[in-house]
Amino acid sequence: MLALTGYVVLGGSDDGGSDAAGKGGATASASNSATASPVPDYTEPGDWTEPERWVALPQGERTDTYGSEVGFPHTTEGAVSLLVTSTNGSVEPGHSTVDVQMRLYRSYMSADDRSDENVEKIEKGAQETDKKLHQQMGVSADSELPSGSYVRTTVIGFKVIQAADDEVSTWMLAKVVTKKGELEKETAEYIRVLMAARWETEDWKLSTQASVQASQQVGSDKPGMAVPGDEKFNEYGWTAIREAS
């Protein structure tokens, strides 16, 4: 159940209520309690409908020794910003899934989830993901990813499930773009994933227990899939994210 956010898990199972939809490419990873899985294709609409809800999320106040943004404000938006930051990212040549998953663990994991056993699980899962990604990119497991290849995850919207002073749970809506090499075309898909954070040691942290509780709370009830610009984005209750200035 312990898989960190932001990076690819190819062929993941739907064990935590997240879905993926798109036009080919890799399936992106889910939260620390869920993995993404395929659902019927989502097609972007031709007409633009302005989102009713926009937010510019606060940034962390500093960068830690692992290169991660930390020090988010003790607010609901601060928690959401941590969840977005830990989900956004890229796997590419010289930057493996193992590298990024371990950085996320060291920077963002709740104290309750820190153990040698969980480190082993995360490393093993990331290694398996790297093997599958290399296979998808058409290279051997012990070689570098092709030049110009990447899998990039960007959160484009969120929906708060529950917000308390020290715990916030959300649905995250993200776009995952895959490119297999310099001359290859990008493919894109969208994923929806449940995530939760808890306030501890003066910052927000990813929490498996909070995510499991949120998953139990929502059950099979998931917001519909729609991107900013689709009129259903508003109907489904998503909030769009503006770039911080």
Read off the pLDDT of residues 87-139 as tens digits, 9 standing for 90 and up.
998 999 999 999 989 999 999 999 999 999 999 999 998 999 899 999 999 99
Say yes or no to pLDDT of 28 above 80. Answer: no
The model carries a pTM of: 0.85
Say yes or no to pLDDT of 194 above 80. Answer: yes
CB atoms within 10 A of CB 45: 13
Q: Which of 12-16, 182-186, 197-201, 227-231 has the lowest mean pLDDT?
A: 12-16
Q: What is the Cα 190 distance to its own chain's centre?
A: 11
Percentage of the chain beyond pLDDT 90 is 71
Residue 47 confidence (pLDDT): 82
pLDDT tier for residue 43 given thresholds of 50, 70 and 90: confident
pLDDT tier for residue 48 given thresholds of 50, 70 and 90: confident
For residue 157, give the nearest of 54, 85, 230 by alpha carbon.
54
State which amino acid sits at residue 119.
Answer: V
CB 29 within 8 A of CB 8: yes
Q: What is the Cα 154 distance to its own chain's centre?
A: 8
DSSP designation for 63: E
Say yes or no to pLDDT of 25 above 70. Answer: no
Q: How far apart are the first and last CA of the chain?
A: 36
Q: Average pLDDT of 172-177?
A: 92
What CA–CA distances, in Å, run from 25 to 53, 134, 180, 193? 29, 13, 9, 18
Tokens 């499930």 correspond to 161
pLDDT tier for residue 242 given thresholds of 50, 70 and 90: confident
Tokens 């989102």 correspond to 51
Rounded Cα gap, residues 207 and 169, in angstroms: 10
Say yes or no to pLDDT of 9 above 90. Answer: no
Q: Average pLDDT of 15-43?
A: 41
Q: Average pLDDT of 51-77?
A: 96
For residue 32, give the nearest of 66, 5, 63, 71 by alpha carbon.
5
- Compute the mean pLDDT over every residue in the chain, rounded to the nearest whole number: 84
Rounded Cα gap, residues 209 and 20, in angstroms: 23
Residue 8 confidence (pLDDT): 36
Residue 145 confidence (pLDDT): 96
Copy the structure tokens of residue 198.
Answer: 């808890």
For residue 96, give the nearest of 64, 65, 131, 120 by alpha carbon.
131
For residue 185, give the nearest of 27, 28, 8, 25 by alpha carbon.
25
Residue 5 confidence (pLDDT): 54
pLDDT tier for residue 27 given thresholds of 50, 70 and 90: very low
